[in-house]
Copies of this chain bind each other. A is one copy, B any other.
Amino acid sequence: MSRKGIMRIVAVGANAAGLRAAARAKRLLPDAAVTVIDRGKFISYGACGMPYLVSGDIETADKLRETAYGVIRDPDFFRKAKGLEVVVQTEVERIDRDARKVVCKSLLTGETKEYLYDKLILATGAIPIVPPGIAGNGPRVSTFRILEDAMALRKSLQSGQIGKVGLVGAGPIGCELAEAFTAMWGAKAVLFDAAPTLLPAMLDPEMARAVEAYMKGEGVEIHTNCPLQGVVESNAGVTLKTPKGDFAVDHVIIAIGVKPDSTLAAGCGLKIGKTGGIVVDERMTTSDPNIFAAGDCVELRHLVSEKPVVLPLGSLANRAGRVIGSNLGGGDERFGPVAGSGALKVFDMNISSTGLTTKAAEDAGFDVGAAWGSFTDRADYYPGSENLHLKLLYDRKTTRLLGLQGYSKGEVVKRVDVFASLLRQGGTLEDLLDAEFAYAPPFAPAVDPLYSIACTARNELREGIQSLPPDADLDDRCIVDVRRTGEVFDRPLPEKDTLNVPFEEFRVNCGQVPKDKAVVCICSKGVRSSEAARVLKERGCADVKYVGGGSLMKLAQRERQ
């Protein structure tokens, strides 16, 4: 406390976590002196909206800095409306835990200043990962981290300086930027990733390949298995060096990912986890009881794997910030483990996932079962309904839900959010069958896709109706295509020898399917073929499977949707 008995709260970082914590603390402790320090010029902006500033969907940078009612969130606003003292363009250089003070330096004047604290909040965020040996801040090579980065790119695009861009890293930011450059500015985007498929933290390979094929169809050039080995800048442009050769572009954006900015915390001896994030308990307290931390700089625990994870998501930062503010105000709130739900829009495709990917689930020791399915997001007869493609992961021993991934030009995020809510309660396939959906034709089919895919999983687990992944090689099986003849004609399979036995007369005509061969049934979505496989099994076919997600998910592996 100060000599006057006023509690001094200092936060480092004036975006989601830091400001939320500070403002909440000030509300609960009106007499406290709350100071927020940030190295940036701009504070409290919608960082997740930056790709839309680049694209032009959002007109000005101020839109990301404004409240919904049009007031810029600058230090003056936070002082007059929230009672917070916000100090910008000031770098915190070190924390003195014994003296309970932070030592800062103004980036404008070079002056040093100290702030005493009773309670300290660290919301230092994350910093972009840049491959070794590459400078991420040349005139033609940049990272994508702060609002100024987005403003500079927008300016370059508007003035026609970027006709071709190299995007290094095919995570959400890289994919969103690929759309921004291509769809709005007609620039050529070339996307690189060292991994074999896009969005590896969100999607399994066969799901990612569908997104990749779609993006290629929209004009994005994509190179996977292609790590960046160097960049050479010149006045004329910049060359990316990769194992697949050199690529000449006008600008390179490094968007490989971020790592927690825990330098300050480490410097004053706070406990740092193996992930590089600051270790906190569920009250968001660090190893020093007077220091709290939240946002992209901390290490969280994953709800399903129970492993430490770093999840730089604005939604989590806000929630964790409120927990700190409440606890500073005398509450006892907890921020529990996280499911890691994510979403992004790329062109007209919505992509979302929650929980673990197959690899993460296997690493965590689960006996992973998978179900695929293609559905419509609304009643199939309702105008504008779109196909929705899901992959469900569950534990075969316990039927516990592990993860969900989906892509659709229509609604997919709702299903992910409901699924995440079941993950939190340790839900099983059976719980998914119990979920209730508000139904009307403009919003959902009468039988929701989440319900249907739970049935698919149970049919496999309990009743032996086995599926193959949509990217499975079918060449060694007799392929029974149960689609209507017109569907087969419109969207033929790449495999040559297929037997067409339309489902609508399947029970009458299925005698022509050989019983002594390995058989695989396929339809458009996986529903008819699953039922056909069951009929064949009943009739003595010893080895029969069907293609999960149907021809829609199979063909999405390589064709434009």
Contact = CB atoms under 8 A, between A and B. Distances in A.
A341 B437 contact: yes
A199 interface: no
Nearest to A416: B438
A338 interface: yes
A100 interface: no
Contact of A441 (B46, B422, B444): B46
A467 interface: no
Chain B CB count within 10 A is highest, among A315, A336, A505, for A315
Interface string A67-83: 01111000001011111
B446 A46 contact: yes
Interface in A227-250: none
A30 B28 CA distance: 66
Nearest to A64: B381
Interface string A295-326: 00000000000000000011111110010000
A535 B26 CA distance: 10
B69 A524 contact: yes
A63 B463 CA distance: 33
A41 interface: no
Nearest to A376: B68
Nearest to A465: B27
Interface residues of A, number: 99
Given A71-B484, A336-B434, A422-B421, A443 B81 contact: no
Contacts of A508: 80
A440 B318 contact: no
A290 interface: no
B48 A379 contact: yes
A49 interface: yes
B436 A381 contact: no
B341 A16 contact: no
Interface stretch (A146-154, A266-274, A447-455): A447-455
A525 interface: yes
Interface stretch (A6-14, A189-197, A344-352, A357-365): A344-352
Contacts of A528: 69
Contact of A438 (B52, B354, B381): B354
A1 to B, nearest CB: 19
B421 A418 contact: yes
A393 to B, nearest CB: 16
Contact of A507 (B80, B440, B523): B80
A504 B81 contact: yes
A35 to B, nearest CB: 16
Nearest to A384: B57
Nearest to A406: B438
B338 A436 contact: yes
Contact of A58 (B66, B314, B333, B381): B381
Interface string A126-150: 0000000000000000000000000
A413 interface: yes
B49 A381 contact: yes
Contacts of A366: none
A229 B508 CA distance: 56
A215 interface: no
Contacts of A420: 435-438
B69 A484 contact: yes
B379 A343 contact: no
Contacts of A353: 438
A333 B431 CA distance: 12
A487 interface: yes
Contacts of A77: 504
B443 A413 contact: yes
B80 A438 contact: no
A264 interface: no
Given A71-B484, A484-B69, A341 B57 contact: no
A470 interface: no
19 contacts: A46-B441, A58-B381, A58-B383, A69-B483, A80-B507, A81-B504, A314-B439, A315-B437, A343-B438, A343-B439, A344-B440, A350-B443, A353-B438, A354-B438, A414-B417, A417-B438, A420-B438, A421-B422, A424-B435
Interface of A: 16, 27-28, 30, 46, 48-49, 52, 57-58, 63-64, 66, 68-71, 77, 79-83, 172, 313-319, 322, 333, 336, 338-339, 341-345, 350, 352-354, 376, 379-383, 411, 413-414, 416-418, 420-422, 424-425, 431, 433-444, 446-448, 451, 455, 463, 483-484, 486-487, 503-508, 523-525, 528, 531, 534-535, 538
Given A69-B487, A350-B442, 14 more contacts: A27-B531, A46-B379, A66-B381, A77-B504, A82-B531, A313-B439, A315-B439, A315-B448, A333-B433, A336-B434, A342-B440, A345-B442, A414-B418, A424-B431
